[in-house]
Amino acid sequence: MHFAVRGYFLVALIALLALAGTWSDDPAFATGWIFPAVFLLGGLAVEAWYARGTQVTLAMRIAQRLKLGRGVTGQFVFAHNRRRAQRLQYARALPESFRQNTQVREIELPADAERRDGIELMPLLLGAGRFGPVPARLLGRFSLAWWSRELPRDDAFMVAPDSLPRGARPIAGESAGETPRRVPGAGVELLQLREYVSGDALSRIDWKATARRGALIAREYSEAQHLEILMVIDAGRASRVRAGELDRLGLYANVAARLAEHAVSVEDRVGVLVYADRVLTSSLPDRGVRAVSRLRRALETLQAERGDSDPLAAALHVRKLLRHRGLVVWLTDLADPVRNEALAQAVKALMPRHQPIIAAPHAAEIGRLADRPLTEWRDPAVALVAREHRDRAQRQVAELRRRGVVVLDEADDALDRAALDAYLQLRRRRRV
């Protein structure tokens, strides 16, 4: 229980009347404080009884399924059993899976109707969870005090990896002037007729169409190269490091889920392997909606482990999963030189049979700290440490590239786009 403004006013009045009665010789002042005190105590007793019989219910409603790193609108929905409006204060307590909100709201609950109070939710952690109880306090019947209570709430939620925006699909095909070649697993079908371009193979020329048009006309084919792609995700303790608003494990999950949607849209086969000090989960490459659903289910329950990662054990498991030449997208961190040496050995075990891509984010904030203007006395030291960290990471990347490994060293907010571009480029050049 906490006094409201009216309660504090009565307390102050009682104190003033008591002081006046102590210093005054008039007998009327000696007992003047009793009347507001009786009113205050009696009012508090009635309020306590009334508040005990007031039942307030709370539920959480979310407009859509929660996706990691994508904000959605939610609603606190209140209802009560009284026939008059109630005044309520509550803290917007959220589970640790969401960006925290420390705001305390005061709202009016109408009689015989629900009261909805909107809130922006930002999911930051994968997996299932429940909304817990919310601390609140209800204004008494005479507005003398706020009566504390805890509103129970047991709504379940599930945070899944993010998906592609609607309509975001790569276009499979070949550009003009490229000469097609047969590769295992490729199918060729006529896409359209177009004017001949220098560099086209002579076998492309459609002589009947050329005779009708009086100009060289070439056939353009759509080649379907069905690749096997394996997303390898490092869930060791380094994946707990922040990457923007998410941790790196969440970033890896989003990149893998979006890239998988792109891949299945051009009929590539997609699988996943998650590892730490051991292989945590894996699935064989598959195609279509089934592959994406299997990958997303594996990522929804993903949690970072406390131990160090063992990339060599993961590489040996990759060789068992990929029976044919495939593309291995390895999502990990390159900050630790010791772990990088083990990663280089793991990648060496995959080459040349498979084509690995190491997608390693670096904190965009490090670059900003290294290059920002020096205005305060501590800025030179901060910039020096940031530059040393950045240079060390760049040396690690250069060493891996010297060994022939494709490394995507991008800021955490650009890794998604870089991974997709690298996949499309390798696919277009028939490197896999």
For residue 274, the enclosing domain spans: 228-428
- Are 146 and 98 in the same domain? yes
Write the pLDDT tens digit of every residue in 113-124: 899 999 999 999
Residue at 28 is within a domain: yes
**Is it the case that residue 418 has pLDDT exceeding 50?**
yes
Write the pLDDT tens digit of every residue in 348-388: 888 888 889 999 888 777 778 888 888 888 888 988 988 88
How many Cβ atoms sit within 10 Å of the Cβ of residue 285?
22
Question: CA–CA separation, 102 vs 93, rounded Å?
Answer: 7
Region 45-62 average pLDDT: 92
pLDDT confidence of residue 173: 38
**Is it the case that residue 41 has pLDDT exceeding 80?**
yes
Residue at 242 is within a domain: yes
pLDDT confidence of residue 390: 82
Backbone angles phi and psi of 179, in degrees to 5 = -95, 120
Asked if residue 122 lies in contact with residue 74, where contact means CB atoms within 8 angstroms, the answer is no
Region 131-146 average pLDDT: 93
Residue at 174 is within a domain: no
pLDDT confidence of residue 4: 92
Q: How confident is the model at residue 31 (pLDDT cuts 50, 70, 90)?
A: confident
- Are 71 and 33 in the same domain? no
Question: CA–CA separation, 199 vs 207, rounded Å?
Answer: 17
Count: domains in the chain: 4
Which of 98-112, 118-132, 176-190, 342-356 has the least mean pLDDT?
Answer: 176-190
pLDDT confidence of residue 120: 92
β-bridge partners, 147:
138
Residue at 155 is within a domain: yes
Q: How confident is the model at residue 182 (pLDDT cuts 50, 70, 90)?
A: very low
Asked if residue 401 lies in contact with residue 347, where contact means CB atoms within 8 angstroms, the answer is no
Please say which residue of 52, 68, 87 terminates a domain: 52
pLDDT confidence of residue 183: 44
- Are 240 and 386 in the same domain? yes
Q: How confident is the model at residue 190 (pLDDT cuts 50, 70, 90)?
A: low
Residue at 20 is within a domain: yes
Comparison of pLDDT for 243 and 177, the residue scoring more: 243
Residue type, 263: A
Backbone angles phi and psi of 347, in degrees to 5 = -65, -35
Q: How confident is the model at residue 393 (pLDDT cuts 50, 70, 90)?
A: confident
Which of 32-41, 44-53, 195-204, 350-359 has the least mean pLDDT?
Answer: 195-204
- Are 211 and 264 in the same domain? no
- Are 287 and 211 in the same domain? no
- Are 293 and 395 in the same domain? yes
**Is it the case that residue 71 has pLDDT exceeding 60?**
yes
Residue type, 327: L
- Are 256 and 335 in the same domain? yes
pLDDT confidence of residue 280: 93
**Is it the case that residue 187 has pLDDT exceeding 70?**
no
What is the residue-averaged pLDDT of the chain? 85
DSSP conformation letters of 318-345: HHHH--S--EEEEE-----HHHHHHHHH
Q: How confident is the model at residue 178 (pLDDT cuts 50, 70, 90)?
A: very low
Query: Residue 170's closest CA among 291, 251, 264, 288?
Result: 264
- Are 218 and 108 in the same domain? no
- Token match 């979006």: residue? 258
- Are 323 and 369 in the same domain? yes
Residue type, 117: D
**Is it the case that residue 176 has pLDDT exceeding 50?**
no
**Is it the case that residue 186 has pLDDT exceeding 80?**
no
Sort 120 into a burial class: Cβ within 10 Å, 0-12 / 13-18 / 19+.
exposed
pLDDT confidence of residue 137: 95
Please say which residue of 222, 245, 268 terminates a domain: 222
- Are 378 and 233 in the same domain? yes
Residue at 175 is within a domain: no
Write the pLDDT tens digit of every residue in 370-381: 888 888 888 889
Please say which residue of 181, 200, 222 terminates a domain: 222
pLDDT confidence of residue 175: 38
Question: CA–CA separation, 117 vs 107, rounded Å?
Answer: 8
pLDDT confidence of residue 166: 59
Q: CA gyration radius for the chain?
A: 33
- Are 101 and 42 in the same domain? no
How many Cβ atoms sit within 10 Å of the Cβ of residue 292?
19
Residue at 148 is within a domain: yes
- Are 71 and 37 in the same domain? no
Residue at 181 is within a domain: no
What percentage of residues in the chain have a pLDDT greater than 90? 41
Comparison of pLDDT for 20 and 191, the residue scoring more: 20
- Token match 């965009």: residue? 364
